[in-house]
């Protein structure tokens, strides 16, 4: 049997460890982006590289306690801005949801307590839980900052599973003061579904005999891997529940390999092993910003994001070969651009590449921009073979410069060297 462990409303639960008076109250965590990196006088920014899982946001600032209230979400005009990332079950009872606008949430629940995020605390707790679980379950895989998979096969008898996971849930509460929910099932995908049925602070075990009864009535969107476009496709084919999906093998198979695999995951025919170590596959940086129309200012911000990302890439010692830049405009418009490139990584080239991607992706020039993100993936550690020989010496020189810059930044901070284009 596989198990899936998920911390209940993680960011709120973490806030409650620091401030126990938040228990049994409607609490939410605001999803403020750290936009301080764009300040022209930004100094002493830090990057946390502690956890190298691909799911953990690498870039954040530690917030001081004075920021830890609703005032932190007011803009210069005193308006409350931002969205919520997590809400307590008490808040959800008022209809408050993840990604809800703070203004809207306060209308639904005027006494909602809003806290600023504290990424260092989350990483610390996540690390501790991972460590604790590794002592209890031989095979543990971290899937996100607050989610883990484990394999109990050969470790716990099937008849003891319910007892084992229930004990584990209480041990975690006692040791780390974190409420978790745990699901157990024959495959990891079904275990994750079981967890959703166990929340909050519960356990659920799915066996071959009761799995259909539980899975079949659930909406297709509740299954991991079924996103917006797949949901639409299924809806168009009159498939609304997982039970309906299971009856349409032929339809799903005709949609190609992804849908075919998805079908098998839903029916429990397909599973993936629990991987205890996970290589980082990508890294990115993104920021939600106040709506900006000025392209010059946006380009300046791209340079800053590129500098931070470049620092992290060099620190990880990887050479990305796929670059992705996305722009979110107001009125829910989006645009993005990809580029593959196998060359020596230098910060200057990366900066130019990001600006080029931005210019190409910026197709809605009459609109203001509200979010910028850059992602790098398909890492190679040694791409010498693939490198272009033209301009190789020049590249080596640039690489040396990049390495020197990196050394200085590691010593004096990421803001110790900036690009001229950022300061104008």
CB-based contact 143:149 (threshold 8 Å):
yes
Rank residues 173 and 334 by Cβ distance to Mg ion and give the closer one: 173
Distances (CA, A) of 333 to 179, 297, 339, 373: 38, 19, 21, 14
- Evaluate whether 110 touches 69 at the Cβ level (below 8 Å): no
Q: Does 15 bind Mg ion (CB under 5 A)?
A: no
**Interaction between residue 314 and Mg ion (CB under 5 A):** no
Residue 13 Cβ vs Mg ion, minimum distance, rounded to whole Å? 9
Q: How far is the CB of 156 from Mg ion (least distance, A)?
A: 23
Judged by beta carbon, residue 7 or residue 137, the one nearer Mg ion is: 7
Closest approach of Cβ 400 to Mg ion, in Å? 45
Using the minimum distance from each CB to Mg ion, give the nearer residue, 105 or 198.
Answer: 198
Binding segment (CB under 5 A) for Mg ion, from list 4-12, 48-56, 221-229, 331-339: 4-12
Of 146 and 362, the one with the shorter C-beta distance to Mg ion is: 146
CB of 190 to Mg ion, least distance (A): 18
Distance CA 391, CA 385 (A): 15
Q: Is 424 helix (H, G, I), strand (E, B) or coil?
A: coil
Binding mask 93-132 for Mg ion (x = CB under 5 A): ----------------------------------------
Instruction: Spell out a b/e string for 82-92, using b for 16 or more CB atoms within 10 Å of the CB, else e.
Output: bbbbbbbbbbb
- Cα 384 to Cα 345: distance, rounded to the nearest angstrom: 11
145/370 with CB nearer Mg ion: 145
Instruction: For residue 64, give the DSSP letter.
Output: P
Strand ranges across the sheet with 113-115: 84-87, 27-30, 113-115
In degrees to the nearest 10, what's the CA dihedral of 399, 410, 357, 81? 180
Min dist. Cβ of residue 10 to Mg ion (A):
5
Among the listed residues 207, 201, 160, 163, the one whose alpha carbon sits nearest the alpha carbon of residue 182: 201
Q: Which of 3, 5, 7, 262 binds Mg ion (CB under 5 A)?
A: 7
The residue among 146 and 395 lying less far from Mg ion, judged by its C-beta, is 146
Segment near Mg ion (CB under 5 A); pick from 2-10, 42-50, 80-88, 115-123: 2-10
Nearer to Mg ion, 7 or 252 (CB): 7
Nearest CA to 104 out of 35, 288, 112, 291 is that of 112
From the CB of 21, what's the least distance to Mg ion, in Å? 22
168 lies in the site for Mg ion, by CB under 5 A: no
User: Distances in Å between the alpha carbon of 47 and those of 58, 167, 252, 351, 388?
Assistant: 6, 37, 43, 19, 32
What is the rounded CA–CA span in Å between residue 424 and residue 422?
Answer: 6
By rule CB under 5 A, what string of x and - marks binding of each residue 136-165 to Mg ion? ----------x-------------------
Among 6, 141, 362, 395, binds Mg ion (CB under 5 A): 6
Contact positions toward Mg ion, by CB under 5 A? 6-7, 10, 146
């Amino acid at each position: 049997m596989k198990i899936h462990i998920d911390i209940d409303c993680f960011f709120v639960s973490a806030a409650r460890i620091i401030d126990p008076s938040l228990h049994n109250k409607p609490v939410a965590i605001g999803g403020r982006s750290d936009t301080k990196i764009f300040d022209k006088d930004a100094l002493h920014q830090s990057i946390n590289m502690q956890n190298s899982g691909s799911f953990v946001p690498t870039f954040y600032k530690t917030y001081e306690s004075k920021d830890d209230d609703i005032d932190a979400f007011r803009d210069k005009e005193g308006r409350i801005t931002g969205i919520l990332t997590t809400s307590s079950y008490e808040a959800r009872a008022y209809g408050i949801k993840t990604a809800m606008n703070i203004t809207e949430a306060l209308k639904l629940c005027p006494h909602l307590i809003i806290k600023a995020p504290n990424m260092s605390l989350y990483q610390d707790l996540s690390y501790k839980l991972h460590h604790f679980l590794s002592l209890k379950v031989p095979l543990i895989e971290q899937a996100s900052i607050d989610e883990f998979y484990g394999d109990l096969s050969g470790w716990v008898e099937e008849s003891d599973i319910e007892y084992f996971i229930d004990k584990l849930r209480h041990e975690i509460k006692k040791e780390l003061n974190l409420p978790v929910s745990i699901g157990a099932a024959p495959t990891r995908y079904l275990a994750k579904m079981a967890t959703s049925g166990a929340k909050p602070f519960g356990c659920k075990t799915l066996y071959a005999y009761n799995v259909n009864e539980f899975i079949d009535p659930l909406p297709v969107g509740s299954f991991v891997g079924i996103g917006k476009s797949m949901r639409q496709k299924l809806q168009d084919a009159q498939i609304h529940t997982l039970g309906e999906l299971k009856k349409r093998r032929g339809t799903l198979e005709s949609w190609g390999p992804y849908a075919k695999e998805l079908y098998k995951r839903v029916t429990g025919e397909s599973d993936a092993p629990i991987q205890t170590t996970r290589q980082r596959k990508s890294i990115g940086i993104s920021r939600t910003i106040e709506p900006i129309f000025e392209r010059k200012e946006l380009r300046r911000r791209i340079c800053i994001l590129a500098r931070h990302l470049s620092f992290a890439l060099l620190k990880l010692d990887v050479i990305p070969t796929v670059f992705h830049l996305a722009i979110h405009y107001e009125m829910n418009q989006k645009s993005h651009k990809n580029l593959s490139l196998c060359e020596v990584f230098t910060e200057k080239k990366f900066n130019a590449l990001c600006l080029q991607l931005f210019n190409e992706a910026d197709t809605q020039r009459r609109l203001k921009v509200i979010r910028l993100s850059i992602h790098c993936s398909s890492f190679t550690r040694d791409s010498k073979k693939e490198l272009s020989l033209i301009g190789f010496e020049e590249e080596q020189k640039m690489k040396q410069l990049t390495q020197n810059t990196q050394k200085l930044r590691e010593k004096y901070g990421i803001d110790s060297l900036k690009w001229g284009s950022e300061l104008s």
